[in-house]
């Protein structure tokens, strides 16, 4: 059974995390907000016309976008600290759901036991960070 860290790593290495971030930014940029129902009426005197500033504020204050971006940055930062063999194992294993440990061992020419141990080590460290 996959836990939260497995899901984050799978999203990161498969490219879905980048797609989620892009999709969220697209949704924020194209959300026009509530439409004005009062057609006619008086003109608002205190209304400002800075759509770019409003857009930047919405992008920076969106909680979902902040969580996704932080996940990506944390995974990038911590994966970079691991040895290249560990990085390869984790990247290959999480890149696709169809990859099994047998495929990992054959592709990377490594025994299954150390490969699984490396994955557990990476998950343990990322669990503390994420």
Q: Are 52 and 92 in contact (CB under 8 A)?
A: no
Q: What is the predicted pLDDT for the residue at 47?
A: 65
pLDDT score at 52: 78
User: How far is Cα 4 from Cα 112, in angstroms, rounded to an integer?
Assistant: 23
In the prediction, which pLDDT does 130 show?
80
Query: So what's the pLDDT on residue 1?
Result: 47
Binning the chain into helix, strand and coil, the percentages to the nearest 5 are: 70, 0, 30
pLDDT along the chain (130 residues), means of 10: 86 96 92 62 65 82 94 93 92 92 92 93 88
Cα distance between residue 47 and residue 69, in whole Å: 32
pLDDT for res 40? 60
- Give the chain's domains with CATH numbers: 49-130 (1.10.10)
pLDDT at residue number 51: 74
**130 CB burial (10 A radius; 0-12, 13-18, 19+):** middle
For residue 121, the model assigns a pLDDT of 92
């Amino acid at each position: 059974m996959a836990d939260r860290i497995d899901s984050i790593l799978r999203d990161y290495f498969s490219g879905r995390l980048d797609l989620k971030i892009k999709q969220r930014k697209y949704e924020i940029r194209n959300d026009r907000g509530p439409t004005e129902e009062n057609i006619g009426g008086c003109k608002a005197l205190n209304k400002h016309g800075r759509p770019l500033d409003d857009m930047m504020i919405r992008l920076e204050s969106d909680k979902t976008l902040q969580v996704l971006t932080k996940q990506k940055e944390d995974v990038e930062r911590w994966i970079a600290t691991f040895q290249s063999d560990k990085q390869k194992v984790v990247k290959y294993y999480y890149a696709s759901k169809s990859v099994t440990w047998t495929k990992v061992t054959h592709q990377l020419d490594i025994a299954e036991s150390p490969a699984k141990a490396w994955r557990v080590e990476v998950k343990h460290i990322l669990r503390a960070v994420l």
